[in-house]
Amino acid sequence: MKTDNITNGEVLIKTIGLHKSFGSNHVLKGIDEEILKGEKVVIIGPSGSGKSTFLRSLNLLEEPSAGEIWFDGECITDRKCNVDRVRTKMGMVFQHFNLFPHLTIRRNITLAPVKLGLMDEEAANANADRLLIRVGLLEKAESYPGQLSGGQKQRIAIVRSLAMNPKVMLFDEPTSALDPEMVGEVLDVMKELANEGMTMVVVTHEMGFAREVGTRILFMDEGIILEQNTPKEFFANPRQKRTIEFLSKVL
């Protein structure tokens, strides 16, 4: 199944000489990377190496200091590009879920499609129901986020992004804030998504997930992609000293 998804060969995201500094802190130091349609790219690396910053740059939550980002054939770092429109096509899932606490689950899911005029209320509700059924949370539609467990919240966050029909899903440590027993239910939803052919970029510490689902592992260190490979090769034969050191600590 895996191979099906990556033989496509069409470039979906491309970064050219991507740099990012926060003040004098040079965090991303030139990243040139292509992500193909259907790939499941897993990004790992030590804390502070720039994983989140890279991921957040892809949908311009961080404005790059230099370099270009192309998405679906369009240069989205161009001034004339409408960022809001681009973002509707890139789903993002955060470590801390970031559900809207003052809205019901249903409203969390339908707010953006309706406000952006992509669907009318009715269609958005039907779509939300369909997605909620898929993650087994339809009965929570009228609940508020505060009434859900962490695992449930994260599944809703994924659904909220999916409701926009994105072309790629970005995940920033989606299971790090979860109690261990809830990690599984979120990973299951992500695996299903992967199997359906969704293009995914995932920052995670879950090496099992990386091995099983990833089609490619990027190892980031100090603002660059130090090493990359297929999961099998990557875990079996890490080449860089830093990679070996890191893997020895987390495996």
Dist CA 63 CA 49 (whole Å): 18
Partner interacting with residue 27 (select from Mg ion, a copy of itself, ligand ATP, none; CB below 5-8 Å by kind): ligand ATP
- Which of the ranges 20-28, 46-54, 94-102, 179-187 carries the binding residues for another protein, by CB under 8 A? 94-102
Distance between CA atoms of residues 49 and 41, nearest Å: 17
Residues within the interface to a copy of itself (CB under 8 A) = 46-47, 179-181, 183-184, 205, 246, 249-250
Total of chain residues touching Mg ion, rule CB under 5 A: 1
Q: Are 62 and 29 in contact (CB under 8 A)?
A: no
Enter the tokens of residue 57.
């740059």
Report which of 39, 89, 116 is spatially closest to residue 81, judged by C-alpha positions: 89
State the SS3 of 188-224: HHHHHHHHCCCEEEEECCCHHHHHHHCCEEEEEECCE
Interface pick for Mg ion out of 52, 57, 108, 161 (rule CB under 5 A): 52
53 versus 108: smaller Cβ distance to Mg ion: 53
The answer to whether residue 84 forms part of the interface with another protein (CB under 8 A) is yes
Q: From the list 88, 195, 229, 230, which residue makes contact with another protein (rule: CB under 8 A)?
A: 88
Length of the chain: 251
- The mark string for 35-74 relative to another protein (x by CB under 8 A, - otherwise) is ------------------------x-x-------------
**Span 92-131, contacts to ligand ATP by CB under 6 A:** none
In our burial notation (b when 16+ CB lie closer than 10 A, e otherwise), range 157-192 reads bbbbbbbbebbbbbbbbbbeebeeebbebbbebbee
Binding to another protein by CB under 8 A, coded x per residue (else -) over 104-143, reads -------xx--xx---------------------------
In the complex, least distance from residue 163 CB atom to ligand ATP, rounded to whole angstroms = 26
Query: Measuring CA to CA, which residue among 210, 199, 213 is closest to residue 234?
Result: 210
Q: Which of Mg ion, a copy of itself, another protein, none binds 52 (CB below 5-8 Å, type-dependent)?
A: Mg ion
Contacted entry of another protein, ligand ATP, Mg ion, none for residue 25, CB cut-off 5 to 8 Å set by kind: ligand ATP
- Residue 171: in which H helix or E strand, if any? strand 168-172
Whole-angstrom Cα Rg for the chain: 18
22's contact among Mg ion, ligand ATP, another protein, none, with CB below 5 to 8 A by partner kind, is ligand ATP
35: nearest Cα among 164, 172, 188, 202:
202
Q: By CB under 6 A, name the binding residues for ligand ATP.
A: 22, 25, 27, 45, 47-53
Q: By CB under 8 A, name the binding residues for another protein.
A: 59, 61, 84-88, 90-92, 94, 96, 98-102, 111-112, 115-116, 144-147, 157, 160-161, 164
